[in-house]
Amino acid sequence: MHIAAIRMPLPTCAVREVGHYLRGVCTTHRASYPKSLRVLGIESSCDDTAAAVVASDGQILGECSHHQYAVHEEHGGIVPGLAANEHLKNMPLVLHGALKAAGMRMDELDAVAVTRGPGLPSSLSVCVAAGKALAAAHSLPLVGVHHMEAHALMARMGNEQSVRFPYLCLLISGGHTMSLVVHDVNEYTLIGTTRDDSVGEAFDKVARELQIPWIVAQEGGGPGPALERIACRGDPSRFRMPMPMNKHDSGSSPDFSFSGIKAHIKRLREIGAFDPLCQRDQADIAAAFQLTTTQHLCKKTALALKHAKIALGAEAACLVASGGVASNQTVRAGLQRLAEKHNVPLVCPPPRLCTDNGVMIAWAGIERLRRGLLDPYTIDFIQRWPLDQLKHMGYERRSSSF
């Protein structure tokens, strides 16, 4: 998108304001700002409705979210139509809640950032419509955010000096499993990706196979956290799980695969090797699955570090892990051991900011705003959107003369 194309839909007053906020941005990306930015982030790409106000120094000024576990649990997975209805119902409430928690009005904000994709179309359409309408009504700059870029940049919030570019990022969520080099905001090189299911999907399906109830704690729910909680009581050595992609032809690939281990557990249940209604069996299978999955993630991340070094001609500055599965303590501990072995710092956002939230969208909005990567009020959602294609979308870095 060219500057002219962006300028057109913004009223003159908004253009002047944006120009003011971006004064001092330089093309070497070491920006300095006349004032702190305060951005509203809005997320509803899947089953969480969330909003947050974040400042450019990394402070969370206010946030509010609504989860839909209770609605989807009886269906065994996310039902897109039900998710969209819930978003429509709850979006105004979380927006009101985030602004109230921040003690701010819309006209005190500097921009609106909204998840533009990838995700469920009917869910995305709710946050995109809300974000565009709010930004347009208040003549604020709009930033359309790639959901996975928001996960990838989350570890930098208030921590930009430690999490410097380029770094290797492991994104492990419900929709994606991939390792990539983060060269800068908007610039990614894919290293490894899943050849079948995502790791989050595998957690969810195994939790279903084990008939684990989703709601396990007041503060969190969903099948992944439920499986983690059951697994910590289990013996991971009782059931042997196949290690994915361990053969000659695939062993050296940084790609991931989770369908084999998931199918193995299904087979074990079908032949009666375990009883999902027996708590001991449930815990032991969950523990074996979680451990094998962690080992697979770590093995492929070690290979990704090597690939990143070749791609960059230097070591990655650090290893970042983010996305819902990065809130899992066994996964975090495995990655920590790997990072120590490879002498690279591991940075993971706090667990609650690894899963979907409004803060990460607001923060990604700040990072993009700093580089002048804004969008017109006419943007639509993008259902499928490879992260490494972002840089080809025709955004233009603004100079200080904008």
Residue of the chain from 90, 115, 173, 357 that contacts Zn ion (CB under 5 A): 173
DSSP 8-class letter at 237: T
372 binds ligand KG4 (CB under 6 A): no
Residue of the chain from 43, 197, 204, 375 that contacts ligand KG4 (CB under 6 A): 204
Q: How many residues bind ligand KG4 (CB under 6 A)?
A: 19
Q: What is the CA radius of gyration of the chain?
A: 21
Q: Minimum Å distance from CB 354 to ligand KG4?
A: 7
Q: Minimum Å distance from CB 198 to Zn ion?
A: 10
Contacts of 80 (CB under 8 A, 6+ apart): 120, 121, 122, 123
Residue of the chain from 62, 236, 323, 372 that contacts ligand KG4 (CB under 6 A): 323
Q: In what order do the strands lie in the sheet with 177-184?
A: 187-193, 177-184, 167-172, 319-322, 346-347
Q: Minimum Å distance from CB 353 to Zn ion?
A: 11
356 binds Zn ion (CB under 5 A): yes
Residue of the chain from 128, 134, 327, 398 that contacts ligand KG4 (CB under 6 A): 327
- Its sign, for the CA torsion 167, 170, 171, 177, is positive
Q: Which does 328 bind (CB under 5 to 8 A by kind): ligand KG4, Zn ion, none?
A: ligand KG4
Task: Tokens for 391, please give them.
Answer: 């840089």
Q: Which does 117 bind (CB under 5 to 8 A by kind): Zn ion, ligand KG4, none?
A: none
358 binds ligand KG4 (CB under 6 A): no
Give whichever of 14 and 265 is closer to ligand KG4, judged by the CB atom: 265
Backbone angles phi, psi at 241, to 5 degrees: -110, 145
Q: Which stretch binds ligand KG4 (CB under 6 A): 103-111, 221-229, 235-243, 391-399?
A: 221-229
Q: Which residues pair with 112 in a beta bridge?
A: 40, 142
175 binds ligand KG4 (CB under 6 A): yes
167 binds ligand KG4 (CB under 6 A): no
Q: Report d(CA 123, CA 48) in Å as an integer.
A: 9
Q: Minimum Å distance from CB 54 to ligand KG4?
A: 18
356 binds ligand KG4 (CB under 6 A): yes
Instruction: Provide the 10 A C-beta neighbour count for residue 8.
Output: 11
Q: Which stretch binds ligand KG4 (CB under 6 A): 25-33, 160-168, 318-326, 372-380?
A: 318-326
Q: Which stretch binds ligand KG4 (CB under 6 A): 51-59, 128-136, 220-228, 373-381?
A: 220-228
Residue of the chain from 328, 346, 348, 371 that contacts ligand KG4 (CB under 6 A): 328
Site for ligand KG4, residues 12 to 51, rule: CB under 6 A = 46
Residues 284/69/170/235 CA torsion (nearest 10 deg)? -10
Residue of 286, 358, 328 whose CA lies nearest to 41: 358
Q: Which does 258 bind (CB under 5 to 8 A by kind): ligand KG4, Zn ion, none?
A: none
Contacts of 397 (CB under 8 A, 6+ apart): 25, 27, 371, 372, 373
Work out the end-to-end distance of the chain between its first and last CA atoms, rounded to an integer number of angstroms: 15
349 binds ligand KG4 (CB under 6 A): no
Residue of the chain from 69, 203, 256, 381 that contacts ligand KG4 (CB under 6 A): 203
**Helices and strands (DSSP H and E) totals, the chain:** 13, 10
Q: Which stretch binds ligand KG4 (CB under 6 A): 25-33, 169-177, 300-308, 388-396?
A: 169-177
Q: Which stretch binds ligand KG4 (CB under 6 A): 76-84, 98-106, 223-231, 386-394?
A: 223-231
Kindly tell me the burial class for residue 227, based on how many C-beta atoms sit within 10 Å of its own C-beta (0-12, 13-18, 19 or more). Answer: buried
DSSP 8-class letter at 107: G
Q: Which does 228 bind (CB under 5 to 8 A by kind): Zn ion, ligand KG4, none?
A: ligand KG4
Give whichever of 149 and 255 is closer to ligand KG4, judged by the CB atom: 149
Report which residue type is found at 77: G
Pairs from 280-285 (Cβ < 8 Å, separation ≥ 24):
280/234, 282/210, 282/211, 282/212, 282/230, 282/234, 283/230, 283/231, 283/233, 283/234, 283/235, 284/234, 284/235, 284/236, 284/238, 284/239, 285/206, 285/210, 285/234, 285/239
Q: Which residues bind ligand KG4 (CB under 6 A)?
A: 46, 173-175, 200, 203-204, 222-225, 228, 323-325, 327-328, 355-356
Chain positions contacting Zn ion, by CB under 5 A? 173, 356
